A and B are shown apart, each in its own frame.
Chain A
Amino acid sequence: MKFFRLRYLNAIIGLVILIVIVGAAIFAPMLAPFSPERMFTGPRLSPPSWAHLFGTDTLGRDMFSRVLHGARLTLYVGFIAVTIGVVSGTIVGMIAGYAVGWVRGFLMRCIDLLYSFPEILVALALVAFLGPSLDNAMIAVGISRTPFFARVIYSVVLVERSKPYFDSGRVVGAGPVRLMLRYLLPNIIPPLIVVASLGFSTAILAAAGLSFIGLGAQPPAPEWGALLADGRDNMRLAPWLMLYPGFAIILVVLAFNLVGDALSEYLDPRQRWRR
C-alpha cells in the first residue's frame, strides 16, 4: 500500500510545481516587482536581498522579475515545440503506419535516419541554418523531436490496425482518411498524452540549451537558458545569477517528468514504447 501512495506522491508534487509555475507565468506582470527589461533598478550585480530576491545582473535588472517572466517564455517555447513535434510526428507516424509498400519504407527510412542523430544535434543544425532566434529555436526543437513522436505513433498504429475494430471499419467502407481520423486517432491519444508531457521536459531542456549557446532567445529576452549564458559571464563575481534560472529550469523539467511518469504508468502500464 505504501508503494501506491508513494507513486501518487510523485505525481502530486509534479502537479503542484506545475500549477505554481503556470500561475507564476500567467501573473508574472503582477507578481514581478520590476519590468524584466528595466535597467538600473538597483546596484549592478547586487547579491540577493529583500529588494532584489534573486539579485541584479550587470545592467542592474532585477533577476527575480526576469526569472518570473522567463517562465512565460519557457512554457510558451515548450508548448509550441511540443505541438510542432506532436502534430508533425503524428501525421508522419500515422501515414507510415497506415500506408504499405514504398511509402512506409521511405517514411520510416527518413525517420530512422533523423532518429539516429542525437536530437540536440538535429536542433542545433536546424537552428544554425534557420538563424538564431527564439522562434527558430522552437521550430528546430519541435522538428528535432518529430522522429521520436513519429516512431511512437507508428508503433502504436501498427498495433491498433491489427485489431478487429480496424478491419470492421474497413468492412463498412470507411475511406483512409476516415479510418485514420475516426478509428485510429482516438486510440493514439493516450500514448500521445504521455509522450507529449514527457516531451515538454526534453523540449524545454533543448531550447534552454540552444539559448544558452546563443542560438535561441536573443537578448534582452529573459529566457532561462539565455539568463544562464548571462550568468556565466559573471559567474565568479555573481554566482547567484546562474543559480536561480538553473533552479527554475530544473523545477519545470522535473514537474513535467513526474507528471509524465505518473501518466504513463496510469495510461500504459506496459510502457513498451518508452525508452
Chain B
Amino acid sequence: MSDAMVQNSPETVQPVLSVRNLKVSFEGPKGRAVAVDNISFDVRPGEMLALVGESGCGKSTVALSLMKLLASPPAIIEGSVYVKGREIFNLSKEEISKVRGKEMAMIFQQPMTSLNPVLTIERQLTEGLMLHEGLTRKQARERARENLDLVGIPSANERLNQYPHQLSGGMRQRVMIAMAMSCKPSILIADEPTTALDVTTQAQILALMSGLQDEFGISTILITHDLGVVAETANRVAVMYAGRIVETATSNDLFSNPSHPYTRGLLGAVPRLDALLSGDDMPSRLREIPGNVPSAGPAVPGCPFAPRCDRVKDRCHTQRPTPVELAPGHIVSCWEYA
C-alpha cells in the first residue's frame, strides 16, 4: 500500500477531485429532506479515500451526485465539484457526458442488475472506448479483451461474446471494474463494490481494486459501511453521519486514535480479535451505539449525533460543531475538541 506517497504529499499538490459544500436534498410530500448536508473533501492523486458510514447516512447519494447521476428533480443538488481544477456542476449535459466514464468512472453495488442483461459483454465494454477514445469497433474489442485479462477474467475472448447472466456475481463485478477502468479515468468511485458478493470474492475484488489503483495511479473513492474493508485498502477515511462528514483522518490515525464519539462507537461495534487474544479485561461484548440512525429530514441546527452521544453538551443541540484539526490531516467536527 502506498501510504508513504500519500503522507509525503503536501497540501500544495492539487487534488484530483475537490468537493465544496455539496448539499443534496429531496423535495418530498413532507417538505424538504436533506440527505447530504454541506460536505467538503479532497481526493489527492493516487490515494484511496474511504467514505464510511451506516446505511442511510448519505454516502451513496454523495457518490451519485458527484457524477450527476441523481435524477433531478426530485433531488436538489447544490455546491461545486472540481475535477483537476475544473468545475463540473455548471457543465452542460453534453459536456458532463464527456467527463463521465472518461475522467470519472463508477462501480456500483449490485453487479447483478448493473449490467444490461440483453447486451453482450463486448458491447458494454466497448461502447465507452468507442465514444471517448474514438476507437474503431475492432480496436475497442482488442482493448476490452486486454481489460478483461487485467481484471483477471480467464478466456476473455469467449467472455466478450457472452451475456451478463452467463457470469457469476464476482465475474460481473470484475466486468464492471474493467468497464470503469477502460478509459483510464483519473477518479474511480466505487459504491459498496463488494457488499453483494460473498466473503472470498469480496477479498479478491478488493485486492484487484487496490492492485489496479497502484498500477495506474487512479484516485479512488471507496464507499462502504465495512470498516474491515477500510482498514485493508484505504489510505484515508472520511466518516459520515446523517449527511455530514464528522471525522477525516488517515486510516492509521483513525484506527489508532478515533476522536469523534461516533467513530469511537463505530469501532467499538467491530469485533476485535486482538483484544480477545490478549485477554485484556476489555468487555468481550460488542458495544453498540444507543439509538437509531436518524432518517433524512429537515437539517438539524446542531450536531446530528447529539441525541445518541454519551458526551453530549448543551451547545451540541443548538450549534453546528466547527471542524478542528487535531493532527495534520486529522479533522474532527465535535465540540469536545473546540
Contacts and interface: CB of A to CB of B under 8 A. Distances in A.
Contacts of B27: 1
A1 B29 CA distance: 7
Interface string A1-24: 100100000000000000000000
A194 to B, nearest CB: 21
Interface residues of A, number: 2
Interface in B304-327: none
Interface in A167-226: none
B25 to A, nearest CB: 14
B75 to A, nearest CB: 15
Interface string A90-131: 000000000000000000000000000000000000000000
A1 B30 CA distance: 10
Nearest to B73: A3
Contacts of A1: 27, 29
A4 B28 CA distance: 10
Nearest to B27: A1
Interface in A4-49: 4
A1 B32 CA distance: 11
A8 to B, nearest CB: 11
Interface in B9-31: 27, 29
A152 B29 CA distance: 31
A148 B27 CA distance: 38
B231 to A, nearest CB: 37
B329 to A, nearest CB: 44
B27 to A, nearest CB: 7
A260 B29 CA distance: 22
A141 B273 CA distance: 70
A4 B29 CA distance: 8
Interface string B21-54: 0000001010000000000000000000000000
Nearest to B29: A4
B29 to A, nearest CB: 6
Interface string A63-94: 00000000000000000000000000000000
A154 to B, nearest CB: 28
Nearest to B28: A1
A268 to B, nearest CB: 18
B168 to A, nearest CB: 27
Interface string B116-149: 0000000000000000000000000000000000
A195 B288 CA distance: 47
Contacts of B29: 1, 4
Contacts of A4: 29
Interface in B158-212: none
A1 B27 CA distance: 8
A1 B31 CA distance: 9
B31 to A, nearest CB: 10
A188 to B, nearest CB: 28
A4 B27 CA distance: 12
Nearest to B74: A3
B28 to A, nearest CB: 9
B74 to A, nearest CB: 10
A141 to B, nearest CB: 39
A230 B317 CA distance: 77
A183 B18 CA distance: 57
A186 B27 CA distance: 35
B26 to A, nearest CB: 12
B323 to A, nearest CB: 36
3 contacts: A1-B27, A1-B29, A4-B29
Interface of A: 1, 4
The 3 A-B pairs with the shortest beta carbon distances in the complex, nearest first, are A4-B29, A1-B27, A1-B29
